[in-house]
Protein backbone atom coordinates (compact mmCIF):
# COMPACT_ATOMS: atom_id res chain seq x y z
CA UNK A 1 0.00 0.00 0.00
CA UNK A 2 2.94 2.34 0.43
CA UNK A 3 3.36 2.93 -3.24
CA UNK A 4 1.09 2.74 -6.21
CA UNK A 5 3.62 1.43 -8.68
CA UNK A 6 4.63 -1.37 -6.32
CA UNK A 7 4.59 -4.73 -7.95
CA UNK A 8 3.47 -7.29 -5.45
CA UNK A 9 4.48 -10.32 -7.42
CA UNK A 10 8.15 -11.32 -7.35
CA UNK A 11 7.95 -12.17 -11.05
CA UNK A 12 7.22 -8.58 -11.98
CA UNK A 13 10.07 -7.43 -9.83
CA UNK A 14 12.48 -9.85 -11.48
CA UNK A 15 11.34 -8.69 -14.92
CA UNK A 16 11.95 -5.08 -13.92
CA UNK A 17 15.47 -5.91 -12.77
CA UNK A 18 16.22 -7.84 -15.95
CA UNK A 19 15.00 -4.89 -18.02
CA UNK A 20 17.05 -2.38 -16.04
CA UNK A 21 20.18 -4.49 -16.13
CA UNK A 22 19.83 -4.92 -19.87
CA UNK A 23 19.31 -1.22 -20.51
CA UNK A 24 21.96 -0.39 -17.93
CA UNK A 25 24.42 -2.52 -19.91
CA UNK A 26 23.69 -0.44 -23.00
CA UNK A 27 24.39 2.74 -21.04
CA UNK A 28 27.49 1.50 -19.23
CA UNK A 29 29.30 -0.67 -21.77
CA UNK A 30 30.58 2.19 -23.97
CA UNK A 31 31.96 3.74 -20.83
CA UNK A 32 33.61 0.52 -19.62
CA UNK A 33 34.94 -0.17 -23.11
CA UNK A 34 36.61 3.24 -23.03
CA UNK A 35 38.31 2.37 -19.73
CA UNK A 36 39.28 -1.08 -20.99
CA UNK A 37 40.77 0.30 -24.22
CA UNK A 38 42.69 2.95 -22.32
CA UNK A 39 44.63 0.22 -20.52
CA UNK A 40 45.54 -1.92 -23.54
CA UNK A 41 48.80 -2.39 -25.37
CA UNK A 42 48.50 -1.39 -29.00
CA UNK A 43 48.77 -4.99 -30.22
CA UNK A 44 45.63 -5.90 -28.28
CA UNK A 45 43.48 -3.13 -29.73
CA UNK A 46 42.34 -5.01 -32.78
CA UNK A 47 41.91 -8.49 -31.37
CA UNK A 48 38.99 -10.49 -32.65
CA UNK A 49 37.04 -11.44 -30.57
CA UNK A 50 37.61 -8.23 -28.61
CA UNK A 51 39.06 -8.64 -25.15
CA UNK A 52 37.48 -6.85 -22.22
CA UNK A 53 40.35 -7.29 -19.78
CA UNK A 54 43.79 -6.62 -21.28
CA UNK A 55 46.36 -9.37 -20.67
CA UNK A 56 48.71 -6.75 -19.26
CA UNK A 57 47.18 -3.66 -17.80
CA UNK A 58 49.16 -0.81 -19.26
CA UNK A 59 48.87 2.11 -16.87
CA UNK A 60 51.66 3.82 -18.76
CA UNK A 61 49.14 4.80 -21.48
CA UNK A 62 48.09 7.61 -19.18
CA UNK A 63 51.42 9.37 -18.73
CA UNK A 64 52.10 8.63 -22.41
CA UNK A 65 48.87 10.34 -23.45
CA UNK A 66 49.77 13.36 -21.35
CA UNK A 67 53.12 13.50 -23.13
CA UNK A 68 51.54 12.95 -26.53
CA UNK A 69 49.50 16.14 -26.50
CA UNK A 70 50.05 19.43 -24.69
CA UNK A 71 47.68 18.09 -22.05
CA UNK A 72 48.33 20.67 -19.37
CA UNK A 73 48.13 23.56 -21.81
CA UNK A 74 44.68 22.39 -22.92
CA UNK A 75 43.67 21.71 -19.34
CA UNK A 76 44.81 25.15 -18.21
CA UNK A 77 42.99 26.89 -21.05
CA UNK A 78 39.79 24.95 -20.40
CA UNK A 79 39.90 25.51 -16.66
CA UNK A 80 40.59 29.23 -17.07
CA UNK A 81 37.60 29.70 -19.36
CA UNK A 82 35.30 27.49 -17.28
CA UNK A 83 36.26 29.16 -13.99
CA UNK A 84 35.99 32.71 -15.33
CA UNK A 85 32.65 31.99 -16.97
CA UNK A 86 31.39 30.38 -13.76
CA UNK A 87 32.59 33.36 -11.73
CA UNK A 88 30.86 35.59 -14.28
CA UNK A 89 27.43 34.04 -13.95
CA UNK A 90 27.77 33.87 -10.16
CA UNK A 91 28.50 37.60 -10.01
CA UNK A 92 25.88 38.75 -12.51
CA UNK A 93 22.91 36.38 -12.34
CA UNK A 94 21.94 36.26 -8.64
CA UNK A 95 21.81 40.02 -8.23
CA UNK A 96 19.62 40.38 -11.32
CA UNK A 97 17.39 37.53 -10.20
CA UNK A 98 17.10 39.21 -6.81
CA UNK A 99 16.16 42.53 -8.36
CA UNK A 100 13.49 40.87 -10.52
CA UNK A 101 12.09 38.85 -7.64
CA UNK A 102 12.23 41.14 -4.63
CA UNK A 103 12.46 44.80 -5.63
CA UNK A 104 9.45 46.50 -7.21
CA UNK A 105 10.59 48.88 -9.93
CA UNK A 106 9.04 50.10 -13.12
CA UNK A 107 10.13 47.96 -16.05
CA UNK A 108 11.08 44.93 -13.99
CA UNK A 109 8.13 42.96 -15.38
CA UNK A 110 9.09 43.91 -18.92
CA UNK A 111 12.68 42.91 -18.26
CA UNK A 112 11.54 39.55 -16.94
CA UNK A 113 9.37 38.98 -20.01
CA UNK A 114 12.33 39.86 -22.25
CA UNK A 115 14.50 37.43 -20.27
CA UNK A 116 12.06 34.61 -20.99
CA UNK A 117 11.74 35.62 -24.63
CA UNK A 118 15.46 35.63 -25.44
CA UNK A 119 15.79 32.08 -24.12
CA UNK A 120 13.95 31.03 -27.30
CA UNK A 121 16.54 32.51 -29.67
CA UNK A 122 18.88 29.83 -31.04
CA UNK A 123 22.51 30.66 -30.33
CA UNK A 124 23.32 30.53 -34.04
CA UNK A 125 21.23 33.65 -34.69
CA UNK A 126 23.23 35.88 -32.35
CA UNK A 127 26.54 34.08 -32.87
CA UNK A 128 27.57 35.89 -36.07
CA UNK A 129 27.04 39.53 -34.97
CA UNK A 130 28.67 38.77 -31.61
CA UNK A 131 31.63 37.28 -33.45
CA UNK A 132 31.89 40.34 -35.68
CA UNK A 133 31.80 42.64 -32.64
CA UNK A 134 34.60 40.71 -30.95
CA UNK A 135 36.53 40.69 -34.20
CA UNK A 136 36.36 44.50 -34.32
CA UNK A 137 37.55 44.63 -30.74
CA UNK A 138 40.51 42.46 -31.69
CA UNK A 139 39.51 39.70 -29.28
CA UNK A 140 39.21 36.85 -31.74
CA UNK A 141 41.98 34.35 -30.99
CA UNK A 142 41.76 35.16 -27.32
CA UNK A 143 39.57 33.43 -24.75
CA UNK A 144 37.83 36.69 -23.78
CA UNK A 145 34.68 36.09 -25.91
CA UNK A 146 34.24 32.73 -24.20
CA UNK A 147 33.85 34.11 -20.69
CA UNK A 148 33.22 37.86 -20.82
CA UNK A 149 29.50 37.62 -21.76
CA UNK A 150 28.94 35.55 -18.59
CA UNK A 151 29.54 38.70 -16.53
CA UNK A 152 26.51 40.29 -18.19
CA UNK A 153 24.06 37.60 -17.15
CA UNK A 154 22.55 34.54 -18.77
CA UNK A 155 18.75 34.42 -19.13
CA UNK A 156 18.26 30.84 -18.00
CA UNK A 157 20.20 31.25 -14.75
CA UNK A 158 18.53 34.59 -14.04
CA UNK A 159 15.17 32.88 -14.44
CA UNK A 160 16.21 30.01 -12.18
CA UNK A 161 17.53 32.31 -9.44
CA UNK A 162 14.55 34.63 -9.67
CA UNK A 163 12.26 31.66 -9.02
CA UNK A 164 14.39 30.75 -6.05
CA UNK A 165 14.35 34.27 -4.55
CA UNK A 166 10.59 34.42 -5.01
CA UNK A 167 10.25 31.55 -2.57
CA UNK A 168 12.06 33.23 0.33
CA UNK A 169 9.93 34.88 3.06
CA UNK A 170 9.37 38.63 2.83
CA UNK A 171 9.99 39.18 6.57
CA UNK A 172 13.71 38.69 6.04
CA UNK A 173 14.27 41.98 4.26
CA UNK A 174 11.79 43.88 6.41
CA UNK A 175 13.59 42.88 9.59
CA UNK A 176 16.95 43.84 8.09
CA UNK A 177 15.60 47.20 6.89
CA UNK A 178 14.29 48.01 10.36
CA UNK A 179 17.77 47.28 11.64
CA UNK A 180 19.02 49.86 9.16
CA UNK A 181 20.83 47.54 6.75
CA UNK A 182 21.54 48.99 3.30
CA UNK A 183 20.05 47.38 0.21
CA UNK A 184 23.30 45.86 -0.95
CA UNK A 185 23.96 44.42 2.50
CA UNK A 186 20.50 42.89 2.59
CA UNK A 187 21.21 41.23 -0.75
CA UNK A 188 24.80 40.13 -0.14
CA UNK A 189 24.62 39.45 3.57
CA UNK A 190 21.19 37.90 4.01
CA UNK A 191 19.55 36.82 0.77
CA UNK A 192 22.56 35.54 -1.19
CA UNK A 193 23.73 33.05 1.46
CA UNK A 194 20.19 31.65 1.57
CA UNK A 195 20.25 30.68 -2.07
CA UNK A 196 23.45 28.67 -1.80
CA UNK A 197 21.85 25.51 -3.24
CA UNK A 198 20.62 27.41 -6.30
CA UNK A 199 24.05 29.03 -6.70
CA UNK A 200 25.71 25.63 -6.61
CA UNK A 201 23.36 24.42 -9.32
CA UNK A 202 24.10 27.44 -11.52
CA UNK A 203 27.84 27.09 -10.97
CA UNK A 204 27.70 23.42 -11.86
CA UNK A 205 25.70 24.02 -15.03
CA UNK A 206 27.97 26.78 -16.24
CA UNK A 207 31.16 24.93 -15.41
CA UNK A 208 29.95 21.83 -17.24
CA UNK A 209 28.70 23.93 -20.13
CA UNK A 210 32.03 25.71 -20.57
CA UNK A 211 34.08 22.57 -20.00
CA UNK A 212 32.25 20.55 -22.64
CA UNK A 213 31.66 23.41 -25.11
CA UNK A 214 33.02 22.77 -28.57
CA UNK A 215 31.35 25.26 -30.91
CA UNK A 216 32.44 28.38 -28.99
CA UNK A 217 36.15 27.56 -28.83
CA UNK A 218 35.99 26.30 -32.44
CA UNK A 219 34.82 29.72 -33.59
CA UNK A 220 37.15 31.87 -31.51
CA UNK A 221 40.38 29.91 -31.02
CA UNK A 222 42.62 28.89 -33.86
CA UNK A 223 46.07 28.54 -32.32
CA UNK A 224 47.02 25.30 -30.69
CA UNK A 225 48.47 27.07 -27.66
CA UNK A 226 44.99 28.43 -26.94
CA UNK A 227 43.05 25.22 -27.56
CA UNK A 228 40.67 23.99 -24.92
CA UNK A 229 40.58 20.34 -23.95
CA UNK A 230 37.68 19.67 -26.34
CA UNK A 231 39.41 21.28 -29.32
CA UNK A 232 42.63 19.52 -28.41
CA UNK A 233 41.02 16.10 -28.15
CA UNK A 234 39.18 16.54 -31.45
CA UNK A 235 42.45 17.57 -33.13
CA UNK A 236 44.28 14.66 -31.54
CA UNK A 237 41.83 12.23 -33.12
CA UNK A 238 42.46 13.67 -36.55
CA UNK A 239 46.22 13.37 -36.19
CA UNK A 240 46.51 10.01 -34.47
CA UNK A 241 43.18 8.37 -35.23
CA UNK A 242 44.37 4.79 -34.88
CA UNK A 243 45.94 5.11 -31.44
CA UNK A 244 42.75 4.34 -29.64
CA UNK A 245 44.45 3.49 -26.35
CA UNK A 246 45.95 7.01 -26.11
CA UNK A 247 42.69 8.69 -27.03
CA UNK A 248 40.71 6.61 -24.57
CA UNK A 249 43.23 7.37 -21.81
CA UNK A 250 42.76 11.07 -22.55
CA UNK A 251 38.98 10.69 -22.56
CA UNK A 252 39.05 8.88 -19.22
CA UNK A 253 41.08 11.76 -17.80
CA UNK A 254 38.60 14.37 -18.99
CA UNK A 255 35.38 12.53 -18.08
CA UNK A 256 36.17 10.79 -14.80
CA UNK A 257 36.79 14.02 -12.83
CA UNK A 258 33.37 15.26 -13.90
CA UNK A 259 31.76 11.99 -12.82
CA UNK A 260 33.52 12.17 -9.45
CA UNK A 261 32.24 15.73 -9.12
CA UNK A 262 28.78 14.32 -9.76
CA UNK A 263 29.13 11.90 -6.87
CA UNK A 264 30.18 14.69 -4.52
CA UNK A 265 27.40 17.07 -5.39
CA UNK A 266 24.83 14.58 -6.65
CA UNK A 267 21.99 16.37 -4.89
CA UNK A 268 22.79 19.66 -6.57
CA UNK A 269 22.97 17.97 -9.96
CA UNK A 270 19.65 16.19 -9.60
CA UNK A 271 17.93 19.20 -8.08
CA UNK A 272 19.19 21.44 -10.85
CA UNK A 273 18.08 19.10 -13.59
CA UNK A 274 14.66 18.41 -12.13
CA UNK A 275 14.17 22.09 -11.44
CA UNK A 276 14.77 22.91 -15.07
CA UNK A 277 12.33 20.23 -16.12
CA UNK A 278 9.24 20.61 -14.06
CA UNK A 279 9.04 23.84 -12.18
CA UNK B 1 -3.82 59.45 -0.91
CA UNK B 2 -1.82 62.05 0.98
CA UNK B 3 -1.91 64.36 -2.05
CA UNK B 4 -5.68 64.19 -2.31
CA UNK B 5 -6.45 65.97 0.96
CA UNK B 6 -3.24 67.24 2.47
CA UNK B 7 -4.96 69.56 4.97
CA UNK B 8 -6.68 66.69 6.70
CA UNK B 9 -3.49 64.75 7.27
CA UNK B 10 -1.64 65.10 10.51
CA UNK B 11 1.93 66.39 10.15
CA UNK B 12 3.54 63.24 11.47
CA UNK B 13 1.67 61.12 8.95
CA UNK B 14 2.74 63.46 6.18
CA UNK B 15 6.41 63.11 7.01
CA UNK B 16 5.93 59.39 7.34
CA UNK B 17 4.35 59.27 3.88
CA UNK B 18 7.12 61.31 2.33
CA UNK B 19 9.71 59.21 4.07
CA UNK B 20 7.99 56.16 2.69
CA UNK B 21 7.97 57.48 -0.87
CA UNK B 22 11.59 58.55 -0.52
CA UNK B 23 12.37 55.01 0.56
CA UNK B 24 10.49 53.62 -2.42
CA UNK B 25 12.36 55.85 -4.87
CA UNK B 26 15.63 54.76 -3.34
CA UNK B 27 14.57 51.13 -3.50
CA UNK B 28 13.51 51.50 -7.12
CA UNK B 29 16.91 52.93 -7.94
CA UNK B 30 18.56 49.92 -6.35
CA UNK B 31 16.29 47.65 -8.38
CA UNK B 32 17.54 49.15 -11.63
CA UNK B 33 21.13 49.24 -10.39
CA UNK B 34 21.04 45.54 -9.47
CA UNK B 35 19.55 44.60 -12.83
CA UNK B 36 22.02 46.75 -14.74
CA UNK B 37 24.50 44.02 -15.75
CA UNK B 38 21.71 42.10 -17.43
CA UNK B 39 20.12 45.18 -19.00
CA UNK B 40 23.48 45.79 -20.67
CA UNK B 41 23.88 42.09 -21.49
CA UNK B 42 20.40 41.88 -22.93
CA UNK B 43 21.06 44.79 -25.26
CA UNK B 44 24.65 43.91 -26.13
CA UNK B 45 24.57 40.12 -26.44
CA UNK B 46 20.93 39.48 -27.33
CA UNK B 47 18.85 42.26 -28.83
CA UNK B 48 21.55 44.01 -30.85
CA UNK B 49 22.83 40.70 -32.38
CA UNK B 50 19.25 39.66 -33.13
CA UNK B 51 18.58 42.81 -35.15
CA UNK B 52 22.06 42.83 -36.69
CA UNK B 53 21.79 39.24 -37.87
CA UNK B 54 18.44 39.96 -39.52
CA UNK B 55 20.10 42.89 -41.28
CA UNK B 56 23.13 40.81 -42.33
CA UNK B 57 20.81 38.17 -43.76
CA UNK B 58 19.85 40.72 -46.44
CA UNK B 59 23.47 41.54 -47.28
CA UNK B 60 26.66 40.19 -48.74
CA UNK B 61 29.12 40.44 -45.91
CA UNK B 62 32.58 38.96 -45.57
CA UNK B 63 33.74 41.05 -42.54
CA UNK B 64 36.73 42.13 -44.65
CA UNK B 65 34.55 44.50 -46.66
CA UNK B 66 31.51 46.49 -45.58
CA UNK B 67 28.15 44.77 -45.89
CA UNK B 68 26.39 45.22 -49.21
CA UNK B 69 22.57 45.17 -49.34
CA UNK B 70 21.26 42.42 -51.62
CA UNK B 71 17.62 42.19 -50.55
CA UNK B 72 16.20 38.67 -50.56
CA UNK B 73 19.05 37.20 -52.63
CA UNK B 74 20.45 35.08 -49.81
CA UNK B 75 17.06 33.51 -49.15
CA UNK B 76 16.54 32.94 -52.85
CA UNK B 77 19.95 31.26 -53.09
CA UNK B 78 19.06 29.01 -50.15
CA UNK B 79 16.09 27.68 -52.10
CA UNK B 80 18.39 26.61 -54.92
CA UNK B 81 21.25 25.37 -52.76
CA UNK B 82 21.27 21.57 -52.94
CA UNK B 83 23.55 21.13 -49.95
CA UNK B 84 21.33 23.37 -47.86
CA UNK B 85 18.32 21.30 -48.83
CA UNK B 86 20.13 18.10 -47.85
CA UNK B 87 21.21 19.63 -44.54
CA UNK B 88 17.63 20.66 -43.85
CA UNK B 89 16.41 17.15 -44.66
CA UNK B 90 19.07 15.58 -42.43
CA UNK B 91 18.25 17.93 -39.58
CA UNK B 92 14.54 17.18 -39.75
CA UNK B 93 15.24 13.44 -40.15
CA UNK B 94 17.39 13.45 -37.03
CA UNK B 95 14.84 15.48 -35.05
CA UNK B 96 11.96 13.28 -36.16
CA UNK B 97 13.68 10.08 -35.08
CA UNK B 98 15.69 11.19 -32.09
CA UNK B 99 13.12 13.26 -30.20
CA UNK B 100 10.21 10.75 -30.15
CA UNK B 101 12.59 7.85 -29.45
CA UNK B 102 14.23 9.73 -26.59
CA UNK B 103 10.81 10.39 -25.06
CA UNK B 104 9.51 6.82 -25.43
CA UNK B 105 12.72 5.27 -24.12
CA UNK B 106 13.21 7.91 -21.42
CA UNK B 107 9.65 7.61 -20.09
CA UNK B 108 9.81 3.81 -20.35
CA UNK B 109 12.96 3.59 -18.26
CA UNK B 110 11.63 6.13 -15.76
CA UNK B 111 8.38 4.15 -15.36
CA UNK B 112 10.30 1.00 -14.52
CA UNK B 113 12.63 2.91 -12.18
CA UNK B 114 9.57 4.33 -10.45
CA UNK B 115 8.48 0.85 -9.38
CA UNK B 116 10.51 1.55 -6.24
CA UNK B 117 12.62 -1.52 -6.78
CA UNK B 118 15.79 -2.09 -4.84
CA UNK B 119 18.83 -0.28 -6.19
CA UNK B 120 16.82 2.49 -7.82
CA UNK B 121 19.49 5.11 -7.21
CA UNK B 122 22.23 2.83 -8.55
CA UNK B 123 20.31 2.29 -11.77
CA UNK B 124 19.58 5.99 -12.02
CA UNK B 125 23.31 6.71 -11.71
CA UNK B 126 24.08 4.15 -14.45
CA UNK B 127 21.73 5.91 -16.84
CA UNK B 128 22.88 9.34 -15.83
CA UNK B 129 26.67 8.92 -16.15
CA UNK B 130 26.80 8.96 -19.98
CA UNK B 131 25.03 12.32 -20.02
CA UNK B 132 28.05 13.75 -18.19
CA UNK B 133 30.39 12.70 -20.98
CA UNK B 134 31.32 15.70 -23.18
CA UNK B 135 29.97 15.43 -26.76
CA UNK B 136 33.48 15.40 -28.22
CA UNK B 137 34.32 12.40 -26.05
CA UNK B 138 31.03 10.74 -27.01
CA UNK B 139 31.94 10.91 -30.69
CA UNK B 140 35.34 9.31 -30.16
CA UNK B 141 33.96 6.54 -27.92
CA UNK B 142 31.27 5.69 -30.48
CA UNK B 143 33.61 5.90 -33.45
CA UNK B 144 35.53 3.13 -31.73
CA UNK B 145 32.44 1.11 -30.74
CA UNK B 146 30.96 1.39 -34.22
CA UNK B 147 34.21 0.67 -36.03
CA UNK B 148 33.04 -1.65 -38.86
CA UNK B 149 35.96 -4.08 -38.56
CA UNK B 150 37.05 -4.03 -34.94
CA UNK B 151 34.14 -2.40 -33.14
CA UNK B 152 32.39 -3.99 -30.20
CA UNK B 153 28.94 -3.45 -31.69
CA UNK B 154 29.64 -5.39 -34.85
CA UNK B 155 31.27 -8.10 -32.80
CA UNK B 156 28.05 -8.50 -30.80
CA UNK B 157 25.98 -8.44 -33.97
CA UNK B 158 28.17 -11.12 -35.48
CA UNK B 159 27.68 -13.24 -32.38
CA UNK B 160 23.92 -13.25 -32.91
CA UNK B 161 24.43 -13.89 -36.61
CA UNK B 162 23.76 -10.44 -38.03
CA UNK B 163 26.36 -8.98 -40.38
CA UNK B 164 27.08 -5.50 -38.98
CA UNK B 165 26.76 -2.51 -41.30
CA UNK B 166 29.52 0.02 -41.88
CA UNK B 167 27.70 2.42 -39.50
CA UNK B 168 29.26 5.87 -39.79
CA UNK B 169 30.94 4.94 -43.03
CA UNK B 170 27.66 4.14 -44.75
CA UNK B 171 25.28 6.65 -46.23
CA UNK B 172 22.26 4.70 -45.06
CA UNK B 173 23.51 4.00 -41.53
CA UNK B 174 25.28 7.23 -40.58
CA UNK B 175 22.18 9.04 -39.31
CA UNK B 176 20.83 6.02 -37.41
CA UNK B 177 24.29 5.78 -35.80
CA UNK B 178 23.98 9.40 -34.76
CA UNK B 179 20.53 8.76 -33.29
CA UNK B 180 21.91 5.78 -31.40
CA UNK B 181 24.82 7.69 -29.86
CA UNK B 182 22.55 10.62 -29.02
CA UNK B 183 20.19 8.27 -27.20
CA UNK B 184 23.13 7.21 -25.08
CA UNK B 185 23.09 10.68 -23.50
CA UNK B 186 19.42 10.98 -22.48
CA UNK B 187 20.12 10.35 -18.80
CA UNK B 188 19.16 13.89 -17.84
CA UNK B 189 15.65 13.55 -19.20
CA UNK B 190 15.24 10.18 -17.44
CA UNK B 191 16.00 12.02 -14.18
CA UNK B 192 13.43 14.68 -15.07
CA UNK B 193 10.74 12.09 -15.88
CA UNK B 194 11.47 10.22 -12.68
CA UNK B 195 11.05 13.39 -10.64
CA UNK B 196 7.77 14.05 -12.47
CA UNK B 197 6.57 10.53 -11.69
CA UNK B 198 7.42 10.93 -8.03
CA UNK B 199 5.26 14.05 -7.93
CA UNK B 200 2.10 12.14 -8.85
CA UNK B 201 -0.10 12.19 -5.71
CA UNK B 202 -0.60 8.83 -4.01
CA UNK B 203 -4.36 9.41 -3.47
CA UNK B 204 -5.02 9.05 -7.18
CA UNK B 205 -3.57 5.57 -7.21
CA UNK B 206 -5.38 4.59 -4.03
CA UNK B 207 -8.69 5.74 -5.47
CA UNK B 208 -8.06 3.87 -8.70
CA UNK B 209 -7.10 0.74 -6.83
CA UNK B 210 -10.34 0.89 -4.85
CA UNK B 211 -12.15 1.11 -8.18
CA UNK B 212 -10.35 -2.05 -9.23
CA UNK B 213 -7.91 -0.64 -11.79
CA UNK B 214 -4.89 -2.88 -12.40
CA UNK B 215 -1.30 -1.62 -12.72
CA UNK B 216 -1.44 -1.16 -16.50
CA UNK B 217 -4.75 0.70 -16.41
CA UNK B 218 -3.41 2.92 -13.63
CA UNK B 219 -0.33 3.69 -15.68
CA UNK B 220 -2.37 4.54 -18.78
CA UNK B 221 -5.07 6.59 -17.06
CA UNK B 222 -3.22 8.20 -14.16
CA UNK B 223 0.55 8.16 -14.47
CA UNK B 224 0.96 9.04 -18.12
CA UNK B 225 -1.61 11.87 -18.24
CA UNK B 226 -0.13 13.41 -15.11
CA UNK B 227 3.39 13.52 -16.49
CA UNK B 228 2.34 14.96 -19.85
CA UNK B 229 3.53 18.44 -18.80
CA UNK B 230 7.02 17.01 -18.24
CA UNK B 231 6.85 15.17 -21.55
CA UNK B 232 5.72 18.37 -23.25
CA UNK B 233 8.64 20.31 -21.75
CA UNK B 234 11.12 17.66 -22.89
CA UNK B 235 9.53 17.54 -26.32
CA UNK B 236 10.01 21.28 -26.82
CA UNK B 237 13.54 21.39 -25.42
CA UNK B 238 14.55 18.18 -27.20
CA UNK B 239 13.23 19.46 -30.50
CA UNK B 240 15.03 22.80 -30.21
CA UNK B 241 18.26 21.01 -29.25
CA UNK B 242 17.96 18.46 -32.07
CA UNK B 243 17.41 21.18 -34.68
CA UNK B 244 20.68 22.77 -33.51
CA UNK B 245 22.61 19.51 -33.69
CA UNK B 246 26.24 20.39 -34.36
CA UNK B 247 29.06 19.02 -32.21
CA UNK B 248 28.40 15.33 -32.79
CA UNK B 249 28.18 15.34 -36.60
CA UNK B 250 30.87 18.01 -36.92
CA UNK B 251 33.49 16.19 -34.89
CA UNK B 252 32.51 12.78 -36.27
CA UNK B 253 33.11 13.91 -39.84
CA UNK B 254 35.64 16.67 -39.21
CA UNK B 255 33.15 19.16 -40.61
CA UNK B 256 32.73 17.34 -43.91
CA UNK B 257 29.32 15.81 -43.32
CA UNK B 258 30.51 12.66 -45.04
CA UNK B 259 29.68 10.14 -46.41
CA UNK B 260 28.02 11.97 -49.30
CA UNK B 261 26.59 14.81 -47.19
CA UNK B 262 24.53 12.29 -45.24
CA UNK B 263 25.83 13.90 -42.05
CA UNK B 264 25.55 17.54 -43.15
CA UNK B 265 23.30 19.38 -40.70
CA UNK B 266 21.82 22.84 -40.80
CA UNK B 267 24.02 24.41 -38.14
CA UNK B 268 27.09 22.69 -39.58
CA UNK B 269 26.42 24.12 -43.03
CA UNK B 270 25.80 27.49 -41.43
CA UNK B 271 29.12 27.28 -39.61
CA UNK B 272 30.97 26.24 -42.77
CA UNK B 273 29.52 29.13 -44.76
CA UNK B 274 29.98 31.74 -42.05
CA UNK B 275 33.32 30.81 -40.59
CA UNK B 276 34.81 28.71 -43.38
CA UNK B 277 33.93 30.87 -46.40
CA UNK B 278 33.21 34.08 -44.44
CA UNK B 279 29.79 34.32 -46.08
CA UNK B 280 28.31 36.00 -43.04
CA UNK B 281 25.20 37.26 -44.84
CA UNK B 282 24.38 33.83 -46.25
CA UNK B 283 25.02 32.17 -42.89
CA UNK B 284 22.78 34.73 -41.16
CA UNK B 285 19.99 33.95 -43.59
CA UNK B 286 20.36 30.28 -42.63
CA UNK B 287 20.26 31.19 -38.95
CA UNK B 288 16.97 32.99 -39.55
CA UNK B 289 15.52 30.05 -41.44
CA UNK B 290 16.46 27.89 -38.44
CA UNK B 291 14.91 30.44 -36.08
CA UNK B 292 11.68 30.46 -38.08
CA UNK B 293 11.57 26.65 -38.07
CA UNK B 294 12.06 26.64 -34.30
CA UNK B 295 9.31 29.23 -33.80
CA UNK B 296 6.89 27.47 -36.15
CA UNK B 297 7.36 24.01 -34.71
CA UNK B 298 7.17 25.35 -31.14
CA UNK B 299 3.95 27.19 -32.00
CA UNK B 300 2.48 24.04 -33.56
CA UNK B 301 3.35 21.99 -30.49
CA UNK B 302 1.85 24.62 -28.21
CA UNK B 303 -1.32 24.55 -30.29
CA UNK B 304 -1.64 20.77 -29.84
CA UNK B 305 -0.97 21.10 -26.12
CA UNK B 306 -4.64 21.55 -25.22
CA UNK B 307 -5.48 18.11 -26.62
CA UNK B 308 -2.98 16.01 -24.74
CA UNK B 309 -1.23 17.92 -21.95
CA UNK B 310 -2.97 17.88 -18.58
CA UNK B 311 -2.00 20.43 -16.00
CA UNK B 312 -3.09 19.68 -12.47
CA UNK B 313 -5.06 22.54 -10.99
CA UNK B 314 -2.99 24.59 -8.58
CA UNK B 315 -4.82 25.62 -5.45
Q: Is the pLDDT of residue B6 over 50?
A: no
Do B101 and B240 belong to one domain? Answer: yes
B4 confidence band (pLDDT: 50, 70, 90)? very low
Domain ranges for chain A: 10-58, 69-239
What are B65-91's pLDDT values in tens digits? 899 999 999 999 999 999 999 999 999
Are B25 and B146 within one domain?
A: no
Cβ pair A104:B27 closer than 8 A: yes
* Domain boundary residue, one of B9, B44, B69: B69
Residue ranges of chain A with pLDDT lower than 70?
A: 1-9, 275-279
**B201 and A CB contact within 8 Å:** no
What's the CATH number where B191 sits?
A: 1.10.3720.10
Q: Please give, rounded to a whole number of angstroms, the shortest distance from the CA of B178 to a CA of chain A.
A: 15
Give chain B's domain count.
2
pLDDT of residue B1: 39
**Any domain includes B296:** yes
User: Do residue B104 and residue B25 come from a single domain?
Assistant: no
Of B44, B69, B94, the residue that ends a domain is B69
**Model's pTM, two decimal places?**
0.90
pLDDT of residue B45: 96
Give residue B22's domain range: 18-69
Q: Are residues B34 and B130 in the same domain?
A: no
Distance from CA of A71 to the nearest CA of B (A): 15
Closest-CA residue of chain B to A145: B45
Asked which of B69, B100, B128 is the last residue of a domain, the reply is B69
How much is the pLDDT for A180?
83
Q: Which of A105, A120, A138 to mutate to test the interface with B (most CBs of B within 10 A)?
A: A105
Topology annotation, domain A69-239: MetI-like fold (1.10.3720)
B12 touches chain A (CB under 8 A): no
Residue B228 lies in a domain: yes
Q: What is the pLDDT of residues B238-266, one digit of tens each?
A: 999 999 999 999 999 999 999 999 999 99
Q: Region B270-278: what's the mean pLDDT?
A: 96
Quote the mean pLDDT of chain A.
Answer: 89
Q: Which of B46, B123, B247 sits opposite A118 (nearest CB)?
A: B46
Test mutation, A48, A90, A152, chain B, max B CBs within 10 A: A152
pLDDT of residue B13: 61
A27 CB neighbours in chain B (<8 A) are 126-127, 129-130, 184, 187
Q: Give per-residue pLDDT as tens, B22-38.
A: 888 888 899 999 999 99
Interface of B with A in 128-187 (CB under 8 A): 128-130, 132-137, 140-145, 149-150, 152, 155, 184, 187
- Cβ B34–A6 below 8 Å, yes or no? no
B143-183 tens-digit pLDDT: 999 999 889 999 999 999 999 999 999 999 999 999 999 99
Report the residue from B140, B229, B270 with minimal CB separation from A237.
Answer: B140
Name the pLDDT band for B92 (thresholds 50, 70, 90).
very high
Residue bearing the bigger pLDDT, B119 or B282: B282
> What pLDDT is recorded for position A4?
44
Is B313 a domain residue? no
- Whether residues B87 and B60 share a domain: the answer is no
| Same domain assignment for residues B36 and B156 | no
The complex's ipTM?
0.90
| Same domain (yes/no): B25, B86 | no
Q: Pick from B218, B168, B171, B223: which is nearest to B200 by CA?
A: B223
Domain assignment present for B150? yes
Amino acid sequence: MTNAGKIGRPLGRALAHIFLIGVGAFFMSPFLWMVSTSLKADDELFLWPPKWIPSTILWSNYPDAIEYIPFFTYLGNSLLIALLATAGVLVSCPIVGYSLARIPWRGSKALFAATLAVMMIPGQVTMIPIFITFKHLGWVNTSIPLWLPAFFGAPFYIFLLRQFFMGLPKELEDAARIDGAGEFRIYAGIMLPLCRPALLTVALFQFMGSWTDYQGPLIYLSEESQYTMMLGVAAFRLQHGAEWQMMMATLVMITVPVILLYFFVQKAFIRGITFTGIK
Amino acid sequence: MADAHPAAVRPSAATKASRKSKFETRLRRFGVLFALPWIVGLLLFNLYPLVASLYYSFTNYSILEPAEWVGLDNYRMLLEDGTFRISLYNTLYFTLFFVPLSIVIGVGIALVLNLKIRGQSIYRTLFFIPSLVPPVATTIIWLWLLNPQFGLVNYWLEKVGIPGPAWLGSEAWSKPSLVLMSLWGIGQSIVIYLAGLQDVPQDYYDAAEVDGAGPLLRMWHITLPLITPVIFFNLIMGMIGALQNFTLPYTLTNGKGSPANSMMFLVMYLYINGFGYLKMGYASAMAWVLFLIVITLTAILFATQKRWVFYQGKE
